[in-house]
Structure 1
Amino acid sequence: MATSTTERRLPTSQFLLGAIVILVGVLLLLETTGISPTRNALLYVPSLFVLVGVWALVQSRFRNLVGPVVLIAVAGAWQLVAIDYATVDQVVVFWPVLVIAFGLSIVLGQFRSRVRATDDAFTSAFAAFGGVEKRNTSSAFTGADLTAVFGGTELDLRDADLAERPARVNAVAMFGGVDVVVPREWNVQLDVLPVLGGASDDRPRREDHHDGIDLVVTGFAAFGGVTVTD
């Protein structure tokens, strides 16, 4: 269980994002109240969001591409404009990179499902302008890639079991929702990067729990949500 304990101690991308937002708020308050000039420090705030994107990539073991790449690209462009290294017109022409990142996430998700699927140990689901519901009953579930764009995706793991812990689910919700249904006794670590979206573990609190993490849910939510339920 040493690996699970280590993962639990590492700060999540959600925690880092929240800490940065608080820091930005403090800097803005110091500037607006005249307590201390922070305008120069605020110029480099976009670099902090780049770091969040890089950390999200590392935390998801480069399984979650869309959210972090979008955040890195947008924040990086913002930083270049803020320090007058580039103009808005010069960076806007690269917006198709975001479309490429989204396409890559879909392609890689399908590739992983073919390479790693053994007795349905890995599940891949993609929903666009509709809904997809899948159920995994493998006795050696390893992970999943779930994507919802203007639609919804649900993965039911209540009849699944784990050979090695933790299993990993990567969820991408853009103008849609991803629901992961898990057994009540599982310990779930939620590390989804929300940008104008949400991520929540809606299961009721339980006093009895075991040590270690059973499932890690990473991913990205924009104008949508990722939810863990039982």
Structure 2
Amino acid sequence: MANETTRSNSRVSAQVVIGLLVAAFGVLFLLDNLNIIYLRHVIFFWPLAFIASGLVALCSDGPRSGRVTGIVLVAIGVAMLGNRLGYEFISWRTFWPLVMIAMGGLIVFRTLGGGRVVHVGTTPYTKDDAKSDNVVDITAILGGFERRVSAPDFRGGEITAIMGGCELDLREATLATEAVINVFAVWGGITIKVPPEWTVILHGTPVMGGFTEKTARPPDNSKRLVVTGYAIMGGVEVRN
């Protein structure tokens, strides 16, 4: 129950950030229509989109890599905004290699971090537990990942796609009652295939991205798959 409350509060926090951002753009467009400001001056500050996306990621209770990505997005936005304002904190020739180093470090961290905890519903699992088919812990960065799971008691897990794509096929798996998958997609896509007898519940928050469900409606909801997380300039699709 406490975990559900925390997840709900985190989702509300992220939606508040998104709502404030949308409202701010609405005010700016209104002021432009009233000839109080000029929209081209607003476009000058477009790197704020990176900062907003990073803040949404930092509000997430999903994969830890999502928060690392949030810090990177905020750093990119601040650097680009500072450059436009005439403050060059760091040259672009130095900045982009640093971003690549950070991504490489994230890959190594997730690969070698055997003690990392994956939270599935109210139950924590270590990365060693995720080696079985019951719990998944998938990351795709600048690449693609495909996996088929046929576990007799699927529990859920985490999926992260950063400028890459992930496809998880669960059509041969079974559920006891409920499983939770935390997703985090940034400039990437995640596809989850489920059996037709599963009820899919989406609790995702899209930021210039989208969540799509293309599944059949089962006669009952005794087996439920909850998909929660964020799609930032990316997409998450659940289908049969």
What's the TM-score bracket when you normalise by the shorter of the two chains?
A: 0.5 to 0.7
What does residue 153 of structure 1 align with? 166
Aligned equivalent of 2:229: 218
- Matched AA of 2:212: D
Identity of aligned residues (%): 25
Deviation at 1:15, TM superposition (A): 6.4
Q: Determine if contact 2:214/2:237 at 8 Å carries over to the other structure.
A: no
1:190 aligns with 2:201: no
Could you say what secondary structure the match of 2:155 adopts?
Answer: coil
The alpha-carbon deviation at position 56 of structure 1 amounts to 1.5
Summarize the Cα distance change of 1:101–1:205 in structure 2 as closer, same or farther, 3 Å threshold.
farther
Say if 1:53 and 1:69, in contact at 8 Å, map to a contact too.
Answer: yes
* TM-score using structure 2 length: 0.64
Distance in 2 separating the partners of 1:147 and 1:15: 24
Q: Cα distance, 1:108 vs. partner?
A: 3.6
1:177 has 2:177 as partner: no
For residues 186 and 57 of structure 2, the distance between their equivalents in structure 1, rounded to whole angstroms, comes to 16
Q: How does 1:28-177 map to 2 (within 5 A)?
A: 28-31=29-32, 33-35=34-36, 50=51, 52-59=53-60, 60=62, 62-65=64-67, 67-84=69-86, 86-87=87-88, 90=91, 93-110=94-111, 111=113, 112=116, 114-117=127-130, 119-125=132-138, 132-137=146-151, 139-147=153-161, 152-158=165-171, 159-161=173-175, 167-172=180-185, 174=187, 177=189
User: Which residue pairs with 2:214 in the alignment?
Assistant: 203
Contact 2:18/2:56 (8 A) holds in 1: no
C-alpha distance in 2, partners of 1:36/1:130? 44
Question: Structure 2 vs 1, CA of residues 155 and 4 (structure 1 numbering), >3 Å: closer, same or farther?
Answer: same
Which structure has more relative contact order (CA 8 Å, sep 6+)? It is 1
**Deviation at residue 155 of structure 1 after TM alignment:** 0.8
Structure 2, unmatched stretches of 5+, are: 117-125
Which secondary structure state, in structure 2, belongs to the residue aligned with residue 120 of structure 1?
coil
Distance change in 2, residues 1:132/1:35 (3 Å): same
Q: Give the aligned residue type for 1:115.
A: D
* 1:221 Cα offset (Å): 5.0
2:155 maps to a residue whose letter is F
Q: CA deviation at 1:168?
A: 3.4
Whole-angstrom distance in 1 between the partners of 2:174 and 2:78: 41
Distance 1:39 1:15 in 2: 26
Partners of 1:169 and 1:218 within 8 A in 2: yes
State the secondary structure of the residue aligned to 1:95.
helix
TM-score (norm 1): 0.66
The structure-2 alpha-carbon separation of the partners of 1:43 and 1:132, relative to structure 1 and needing over 3 Å to count, comes to: closer
Following the alignment from structure 1 to structure 2, what is the Cα–Cα distance between the partners of residues 43 and 209?
52
In structure 2, do the counterparts of structure 1 residues 63 and 89 end up closer, same or farther at CA, with 3 Å as the change threshold?
Answer: closer
Shift of 1:135: 1.8
Counterpart-to-counterpart distance in 2, 1:71 and 1:37 = 27
The 2-side partners of 1:75 and 1:92 are apart by 16
| Contact 1:193–1:218, Cα closer than 8 Å, also in 2 | no
RMSD: 4.3
| Aligned twin of 2:121 | none
Query: How many residues are aligned here?
Result: 220
* Distance across 1 between alignment mates of 2:20 and 2:148: 35
